[in-house]
Amino acid sequence: MATTTADGSKVVGGGEKSNVDDGKMITLFSSDGERFEVTQEAAAMSQTIHHMMEDGCVDDEGVHLPNVGSEILAMVIEYCNRHVASSSSEKEEEDLRSFDDGFVKVEQHTLFDIIRAANYLDVKQLLDLCCQTVADSIKSKSVEEIRALFGIENDFTAEEEAEIRKENQWAFE
C-alpha cells in the first residue's frame, strides 16, 4: 500500500511484487498535486498514459492528471499494480477475483469517481469491473431509487411516462 517517503511524496508499491526487475518508473501527479511513483508497466495499463509515453509526451517531471484526485488515483494505481503482472495460474486468478470483489466494495459515489477516472485514463479492465458492479446493483433497484442514486430528476410529462408504462405492459412486464 502507500508509504510516505522522506521528501513527502507517496510511493505506491505493488505489494509483494518487487519493482526492481520491472524497470523504469514514472511519476504521476493528481489534480491536487500529490505525487505517485509507478512502474511504467503498471502505468501503461492506462491507454491514455501509454499513448503519452509512446508519443514522447512525458517530460522528466512526469504526467499531470488534472481530472483525477489523489484518493481515486491511489485506488486506480493499486488496481493496476495488482493486475499488471498477469500469470495464468488458477490460484493467481482466484486471488485476483477476491481482490476485485473487495476493491469494488466502496461507497457508490467513490465507484462513480473510479468509473470517471478509468474512463479518462482508459483502463478498460477497471472500467468493465466497475460498470458491471453498478449495473448489477441497479438491476434490483426501483426507478425512484435509481434517480436518487444518480441525482436525476424525473423530467417526463405525464403523457410520456404513461406511454412507456403502456409499452412495458404490452410487453408483459
| Binding to other proteins, residues 136-165 (CB under 8 A) | 138-139, 143, 146-147, 149-156, 160-161, 164-165
64-123 residues near other proteins, rule: CB under 8 A? 109, 112, 115-116, 119
Pairing between strand 35-39 and 10-12? Answer: parallel
Which of the 8 DSSP states describes residue 122? T
Q: What are phi and psi of 154, to 5 degrees?
A: -75, 110
At residue 105's C-alpha, the angle toward residues 101 and 89, to 5°, is 15
Instruction: State the minimum distance, in angstroms, from the CB of residue 147 to other proteins.
Output: 6
Q: CB neighbours (10 Å) of residue 59? A: 8
Question: In this structure, are residues 35 and 29 in contact, taking their beta carbons and an 8 Å threshold?
Answer: yes
Size of interface with other proteins, in residues (CB under 8 A): 32
Q: How far is the CB of 89 from other proteins (least distance, A)?
A: 20
Interface with other proteins (CB under 8 A): 109, 112, 115-116, 119, 127, 131-132, 134-135, 138-139, 143, 146-147, 149-156, 160-161, 164-165, 167-168, 171-173
